[in-house]
Structure 1
């Protein structure tokens, strides 16, 4: 009887049959309207799962006596410290270097996702797929970065004739570039491969939406002040590290099926640790102008500067502690920066909602039966594996700034006002003067 059970477990039609049938049915469902040849080449084989050990040889030798669990712990820890050190270095180098690094990360993330699509469907040898993908990346970056330069460095753009022309017709040029790629895609359509080519057209555009749009928002956050860039990113990093630590040592209860190694203990521990970390980090950074001031272009020095009079967000205020907590902490008031209150919202999002970016990435990888997006960083996977939560966080920070922080910028309005014709400037002046007279802030027009 035992032998019979073993044979049934090994042979087709045994106890593993339901699982195999389920897998087959999923594949058939994905390609149910395709032709036979398309179904076989599209979904017939799983993409290769990287199995090679990409850990540096020096670490392999040093950790050879440890179990695989502790070896992985040390590898992740050492490389995490290396990445944090690199992060501190690029912060020290300033906002322009940070913007360049963001763009490099964006390109690498795009490459990793597009490569997955190419590996899944590579047997077709689709014409122009990779060329068009990179072309669309170029077009979208031209559009977004052009908008950013025009918005934040208006004076510089208006000073240079070529930049002024590009700025004036920027959206038309961007549309013309995209339209060229669109026509190239239509001309590349090949009989019997139409369905797959439209799959990949959609794959490219969804990748652009996820990667390029979010990285553009990160740069917008950076120009509002480096603190809006560093604190959210650091909160996500802290939550990732602390959730891993709490889960590694105390994790018992599974959190979500998409990520079996995630636990409730890690999730909750990471939340409290991240909120505390966000309060402390924002307190330290709020005292430095280089972190709190927006990035601006100085016409006198022809350079980018980070210097200003700190806004109320970054000036110490005294707050009354709720009566319920006064008996616990023994204080009636506390002095803190208003930005620290906002940091609670940022760290809470990084802890409770940010991980869903990672869960989304886990579901994506499971859908295509891959372990990581790439093997760029030993023990961590690809760059996209490290930034899956960051992109979701960037969108939240940008929306948060627009909703609760940013107001009208007088300097930008004056810059645009000075570029108008004299008759337009005079019309705006008279309109504004009449408005102020009506409000009682100026004398009557006759007195003036």
Structure 2
């Protein structure tokens, strides 16, 4: 009597030779049953296949895997320095990670203090270096996940677009903050006058290069990577440019927001490590409500204390300006009302608790409450966004640059979101027209235009009665 195996072998399924042969074990694995078991309906098999797909994967995604090469996880390795591995070898993995993160965090904070001491020019260079590294980490993920090795010009065009966008943003910054220097040098004056046209021409060149690089059978992948590059530019370059704008408003607008994000990250980790019990969000299983709430109160208190200390120093509160006489940055000015101690009445509800009727504080401290609240309640969503991104592509970290912390982008995912908020906050509630910049622009006009503005301004002041009082004085 023939067995099921004999019958299948007679049909060619069990043959051990030939390119189309399949073993019985492979066939059983494919059908998901042993001989003699009832065959599952076709609908069940299709349902099983759909369950094996990645979350959010569509039919078109599955069909295009042959083109993209799939999305295998990027391998990660233990990048902890050997010295720390030996010193912490007796600890559990949980406590070992705690010590590694703690030691590296202290090292990064120390480095942060050093670059602050070196001044605004070094800070700008560091921001640019961080931006380039973050861009490199995200582009490398796309390059590896989508197996873009054979795409012509992909990496070259990615870095070219980074150069174009930086040329545009930093050119705008130089024209805005170093106007007198630009007008003094003939080459810089020409570049400033036609800056936007040159920027557009550079980008248009890259666009044409991309179109010329399109090759058959890779169209979809190439457009995927084109979009990947531009979204990365939007997230990284645009927001790092806002960090530099915040820096020019005064180093306090740079240091306090960054410090609040760092404080919230540390304190949320500490509260979560020792007291965490309730999961916060599925994207980050280690995040807990205890850490989230504890980090919020600790960050608000830290923001108030840091703002009080820094508000008393002109080097932190004065806008960063360029001195044409010395060709250097200066941070000397008369402190604005934001950084002058004022007396505030405490609400009656709190007077019985604290025992005070009034309190002296800097107005900036009130703004610091808004900054620290955003850093602790909304800022973490930048981290959750990054966690979702990493889970989508099955990677643990953006890179392994910092042991125990991952890549540079893993540390700056919340900072970029915070920088955007600070820039919007300053523009909405703090910054007004800058008289020195208006005068600089006024001096570049033709004499007849300057005379027209002068007469208009004179008539306006006479109508308001201000010019007459000035003449009497």
State how far apart, in whole Å, the 2-side matches of 1:19 and 1:415 are: 77
Q: Judge conservation of contact 2:307–2:368 (CA < 8 Å) in 1.
A: yes
Instruction: Name the residue aligned to 2:455.
Output: 430
Q: 1:191 to 1:85 in 2, by over 3 A?
A: same
Q: Judge conservation of contact 2:314–2:335 (CA < 8 Å) in 1.
A: yes
How far did residue 365 of structure 1 move? 0.3
Q: 1:73 to 1:445 in 2, by over 3 A?
A: closer
State how far apart, in whole Å, the 2-side matches of 1:222 and 1:412 are: 17
Q: Judge conservation of contact 1:189–1:197 (CA < 8 Å) in 2.
A: yes
Q: 1:283 to 1:69 in 2, by over 3 A?
A: same
Q: Judge conservation of contact 2:461–2:467 (CA < 8 Å) in 1.
A: yes
Residue pairs, 1:359-398, within 5 angstroms:
359-398=384-423
State how far apart, in whole Å, the 1-side matches of 2:405 and 2:220 are: 35
- TM-score (structure 1 length as normaliser): 0.92
Spell out, residue by residue over 1:301-358, the C-alpha distance to the aligned partner (whole angstroms, 9 max, x if none): 1211111111000000110100111111111110100000000000000000000000
- TM-score (structure 2 length as normaliser): 0.87
Instruction: Name the residue aligned to 1:296.
Output: 321
Q: 1:15 to 1:171 in 2, by over 3 A?
A: farther
Residue pairs, 1:198-209, within 5 angstroms:
198-209=223-234
Number of equivalences: 448
Q: 1:170 to 1:270 in 2, by over 3 A?
A: same
Q: Judge conservation of contact 2:343–2:361 (CA < 8 Å) in 1.
A: yes
Q: 1:436 to 1:59 in 2, by over 3 A?
A: same
How far did residue 65 of structure 1 move? 0.2
Q: 1:270 to 1:82 in 2, by over 3 A?
A: same
Q: 1:262 to 1:33 in 2, by over 3 A?
A: closer
Q: 1:246 to 1:409 in 2, by over 3 A?
A: same
Q: Which runs of 4+ in 1 moved over 4 A?
A: 1-24, 26-38, 444-448
Structure 1: gaps of 5 or more residues: none
Spell out, residue by residue over 1:229-278, the C-alpha distance to the aligned partner (whole angstroms, 9 max, x if none): 00000000000000000000000000000000000000000000000000
Spell out, residue by residue over 1:65-87, the C-alpha distance to the aligned partner (whole angstroms, 9 max, x if none): 00000000000000000000000
Instruction: Name the residue aligned to 2:38.
Output: 15
How far did residue 380 of structure 1 move? 0.3
After alignment, is 150-159 or 35-44 more displaced? 35-44
**Aligned to 1:46, what secondary structure does the other structure show?**
coil
**Aligned to 2:468, what secondary structure does the other structure show?**
coil
After alignment, is 115-124 or 1-10 more displaced? 1-10
Q: 1:30 to 1:280 in 2, by over 3 A?
A: closer
State how far apart, in whole Å, the 1-side matches of 2:450 and 2:370 are: 42
Q: 1:335 to 1:13 in 2, by over 3 A?
A: farther
State how far apart, in whole Å, the 2-side matches of 1:392 and 1:147 are: 21
State how far apart, in whole Å, the 1-side matches of 2:90 and 2:188 are: 61
Q: Which of 107, 110, 126 is residue 85 of structure 1 equivalent to?
A: 110
Q: Judge conservation of contact 2:73–2:393 (CA < 8 Å) in 1.
A: no
Q: Judge conservation of contact 1:31–1:43 (CA < 8 Å) in 2.
A: no
Instruction: Name the residue aligned to 1:217.
Output: 242
Q: Judge conservation of contact 2:68–2:147 (CA < 8 Å) in 1.
A: no
How far did residue 14 of structure 1 move? 13
Q: Judge conservation of contact 1:146–1:170 (CA < 8 Å) in 2.
A: yes
**Aligned to 2:72, what secondary structure does the other structure show?**
coil
Q: Judge conservation of contact 2:314–2:333 (CA < 8 Å) in 1.
A: yes
After alignment, is 327-336 or 413-422 more displaced? 413-422
How far did residue 42 of structure 1 move? 4.7
Residue pairs, 1:260-275, within 5 angstroms:
260-275=285-300
Q: 1:36 to 1:358 in 2, by over 3 A?
A: closer
CA RMSD, Structure 1 to Structure 2 (Å): 4.1
Q: 1:404 aligned to 2:443?
A: no
How far did residue 439 of structure 1 move? 1.5
Instruction: Name the residue aligned to 1:54.
Output: 79
Q: Judge conservation of contact 2:398–2:409 (CA < 8 Å) in 1.
A: yes
Instruction: Name the residue aligned to 1:310.
Output: 335
How far did residue 11 of structure 1 move? 10
After alignment, is 4-13 or 177-186 more displaced? 4-13
Q: 1:425 to 1:86 in 2, by over 3 A?
A: same
